[in-house]
Amino acid sequence: MNISIFGLGYVGCVSLGCLARNGHNVIGVDVSETKVKQINSGLPTIIEKDIDHIIREEHNRCRISATTDFDRAIKQTEVSIIAVGTPSSTTGHLNLEYIFKVAENFGHVLREKGRFHVIAIRSTVLPGTSEKFAEIVERVSGKKKNVDFAMVSNPEFLREGTAVYDYYNPPVTLIGSEHAEAADKVASLYKKLPAQVIITDVKVAELMKYVNNTFHALKVSFGNEVGNICSALGIDSHKVMEIFCADKVLNISPYYFKPGFAYGGSCLPKDLKGLQTLAHDHYVKTPLIESIDKTNELQISRAVEMIQQTKKRKLGFLGLSFKAGTDDLRNSPAVALIETLLGKGYEIAIYDKNVQLSQLTGTNKEYIDTHIPHLSRLMKAQISELMNESELIIVNNKEKEYVEILSNVEEEHPIIDMVRLPEDIRKKKNYKGINW
C-alpha cells in the first residue's frame, strides 16, 4: 500500500520505519527540512532503540522517503496517517493549530484528487477532533465525508524507549470510524501484528488514550504514596508492591506500580491535564484525578528535601531525559528537580549520553536551545568527569552504563537513587532510595 505520514516526530518516525518494514511504500511529510533531509539520508529523526537500523535498511530498499511537499504526498498515496504534535495549552486544552492546518492542506489537495482517500489520525486528540478535521476538509475541498474521503481514529500506545517493540507487540489495535471500508483498510496495516483489532466509534477511540494515560499516571502516584508510607515505617516498599502485583485478576498490570521518582514525558502529564480539563468543561467533579499531578509535584519536592538533608553542594546527575533509552526532555522530572536546585544555589553537573547525542544530531536541539539552554552548559561529555567533580550522585535513569560505574564506586561516595538500582548498589553505606 502507498502511505503518507504527516509529522516525523516519535510516532511518525517509528510508524514510517515499521510500516515500510512490513512491505508498504511510505512517504514522510514534515515542515522541518532538517527532518526531511535526515530521512532521505537514511537517518532517523529520534533517538530510539532499533529505529536507526530500520530507517537505514528501508531507505536502502527505497521503501521510504520524506518531503515537505504535502500536495505530492497526498496525491501519490491512498492512506494518510496524521502524527503531528498536539501540545497542551496553559489551561490544559490542546493546541490543535498544527492538526487543523494539516486539515486545510488536505482540503486544497483533495479538491483536485478524484480517488477516495483515507485519513487516519494517530495524534492524541480530544473527542470530536476527527469530526472537526473532516468539516475543515469538506469546507475547503467541496468534497463529502464518507463519499470522497473518510476519517479514522487510530490512537497509538507506544512507550518512548521501547516504541519499536511496542509497535510490533501492541496491547490492542484500536480503530474508530464511521466508514467500514476505511476502517478495514487501516486495520489491514496491522494484520501481521499479534494484537486484537478493535473497531469502535470514533469518539470512543479518541478518548481511550486519555483514559489509558490518566490511569497510568494514577498508578505511578499510587505506587509512590505506598512507597513513601513504607519508607516511614521501615517496610520494604517493593516487596509490598510485588505482592500487590501478584493479583493479575483485579490489579490488572504491574508495569507502573513501582515506587520511585515522579512521572514525566510528553504523554502522561498532557493527557492527564486533558482529561481534567474535559471533566471541568462538563462540570464533572473528579477530586482523585485532580490530585494526581499534585502527588507528582510532591515527589519532586521530596527529592529536593532528601538532597538538602545531605548538606552536599556539588551535585552530579546521571540522566536528564524523563526515562532511560530516550532523549525526550519534555516534562522530565529530572529537569524540574535540577531547575529547583539551581535556584537554591547548588553546583550541578549532568551526564546523559542520549541527550548529548541528540544535541549532536539535531533531533532534540531545538527544545534544548529554546527551553533549557542553561542546562546544556552543565552537560559533561564523560561520566568520569562528572564523578570526579561531584560530592553527591543523583541517579535519574536506569541506564546500564550508570549501573556499571556505580557498582564499582567507593562506598563513601553518597548516592540518591530515583530508579531502584540493583541490590549490590543499594547495600552501599552512603546509598539512599527515594522511597525504599
Q: Which domains does the chain have, with CATH numbers?
A: 2-200 (3.40.50.720), 211-433 (3.40.50.720)
Q: pLDDT digits over 236-285, tens only?
A: 999 988 988 887 755 656 666 677 888 887 788 888 888 788 788 888 78
Separation of alpha carbons 334 and 228, rounded Å: 19
Reported confidence tier of residue 130, pLDDT bands at 50, 70, 90: very high
pLDDT of 360 over the 60 cut? no
**Side-chain half-sphere CA neighbours of 74 within 13 A:** 26
Residues 157, 171: contact at Cβ < 8 Å? yes
pLDDT at 256: 64
What is the C-alpha to C-alpha distance for residues 286 and 153, in angstroms, rounded to an integer?
26
What is the pLDDT, as a whole number, of residue 195? 87
Q: What's the Cα-to-Cα distance from 415 to each of 84, 232, 265, 394, rounded to whole Å?
A: 40, 19, 24, 6
Query: Quick one: pLDDT at residue 411?
Result: 73
For the ranges 16-30, 126-140, 207-221, which has the lowest average pLDDT?
Answer: 207-221
Mean pLDDT, residues 118-146: 96
Q: How confident is the model at residue 85 (pLDDT cuts 50, 70, 90)?
A: confident
pLDDT for 361 equals: 61
CB atoms within 10 A of CB 71: 14
According to DSSP, the residues that pair with 73 across neighbouring strands are none
- Among 143-147, 382-386, 395-399, name the most confident range: 143-147
Query: What pLDDT was estimated at residue 362?
Result: 64
**Segment of 248-252, 369-373, 405-409 carrying the highest mean pLDDT:** 405-409
Residue 20 clears pLDDT 90, i.e. is over it: yes
Q: What is the pLDDT of residues 298-333, one digit of tens each?
A: 999 999 999 999 999 999 999 998 778 777 777 789
**Does residue 182 register a pLDDT over 70?**
yes
Which of 13, 18, 230, 267 is an active site residue?
267
| 421-431 average pLDDT score | 92
Q: Is 267 a catalytic residue?
A: yes
Residue 362 and residue 259: Cα distance in Å, rounded?
A: 34
Determine the average pLDDT of the residues in 401-429. Answer: 90
Say if residue 363's pLDDT is above 70. no
Nine-digit cell at 103? Answer: 486539515
**The predicted structure's pLDDT at residue 253:** 62
Grid coordinates representing 296 are: 507528582
Q: Of the given ranges (176-190, 352-366, 369-383), which has the lowest mean pLDDT?
A: 352-366
Pair 18, 56: CB distance under 8 Å: no
Mean pLDDT over 324-352 rounds to 89
Given a cut of 70, whether residue 397 has pLDDT beyond it is: yes
**What rounded mean pLDDT belongs to the chain?**
90
* Region 350-365 average pLDDT: 73
Q: Quick one: pLDDT band at residue 385, thresholds 50, 70, 90?
A: very high
Neighbouring residues of 427: CB distance < 8 A, sequence distance ≥ 6: none
pLDDT value of position 431:
94
Please report the sign of the dihedral spanned by the C-alpha atoms of residue 365, residue 371, residue 374, residue 378: negative
Percent of the chain with pLDDT over 70: 95
C-alpha cell at 33: 527540512
- Of the pLDDT bands very low, low, confident and very high (cuts 50, 70, 90), residue 75 is very high
Q: Which of 53-57, 95-99, 226-230 has the lowest mean pLDDT?
A: 226-230
